Chains A and B, each alone.
Chain A
Amino acid sequence: KQEVTQIPAALSVPEGENLVLNCSFTDSAIYNLQWFRQDPGKGLTSLLLIQSSQREQTSGRLNASLDKSSGRSTLYIAASQPGDSATYLCAGGAVLGGRTNAGKSTFGDGTTLTVKP
């Protein structure tokens, strides 16, 4: 059974700082790894998706890496801004057999980021 862990649970940084959020997973047979952002009381916003054959993805100030062998993914946020304050969730996607290859995702508990002006 896949288990996903995110460390730290909470992080507070001053504006402008670069930071790294960590995600570890126990089953390396993931199909993909997604990073999401969730604002309080809101739904999920997909940030980056890394397929199992990839090692990293970049979007603007965000860079996500995936190392299946070590069971780790990181989300790097450059030049953090107060608007980046949110909870960041990672999710490992599994492969289901049978009718479809689309598999369910296992989520970590998230890292709540606060960027202070």
Chain B
Amino acid sequence: GAVVSQHPSRVICKSGTSVKIECRSLDFQATTMFWYRQFPKQSLMLMATSNEGSKATYEQGVEKDKFLINHASLTLSTLTVTSAHPEDSSFYICSAAAGGRADTQYFGPGTRLTVL
């Protein structure tokens, strides 16, 4: 149980295009989902916290207009990188937690984004 999937696993795009990454909780309802970013040889940094049905809360320094997060259902959150640039190339990982009880975050496998 407690499986989180991400799609796509890898994406290569041209500079200026937008890319959407999906995060799904497959066997549980996730009231809260988190999006992390990992640059090469660095650790994971939280980008934003997403609660179902409400606006995401972004960490300091993360542009909300560039990284659009939608958490429309209890099993799906999407991250859209708008007008991607090479510096956005990174490993994006989501995690999901069931609400109502203090819980563990279950992490997705990650999406590697390369912007040419």
Please count how many residues in chain B sit with their CB below 8 Å of the partner chain's CB atoms.
29
In whole angstroms, what is the CA distance A34 to B44 when docked?
13
B34 near A104 (CB under 8 angstroms)?
A: yes
Smallest beta-carbon distance A75→chain B, Å: 16
In whole angstroms, what is the CA distance A104 to B105 when docked?
8
A102 near B107 (CB under 8 angstroms)?
A: no
Among B43, B44, B102, point to the contact of A95 (Cβ < 8 A): B102
Complex interface bits, A39-56 against B, C-beta within 8 A gives 1, otherwise 0 = 001111010010000000
User: Nearest 9 pairs between A and B by C-beta?
Assistant: A102-B97, A101-B102, A43-B110, A100-B99, A43-B109, A107-B44, A107-B43, A109-B43, A102-B32
Q: Which residues of B line the A interface, CB within 8 A?
A: 31-32, 34, 36, 42-46, 49, 51, 91, 93, 95, 97-110, 112
Q: Which residues of A line the B interface, CB within 8 A?
A: 31-32, 34, 36, 41-44, 46, 49, 89, 91, 93, 95-96, 99-110
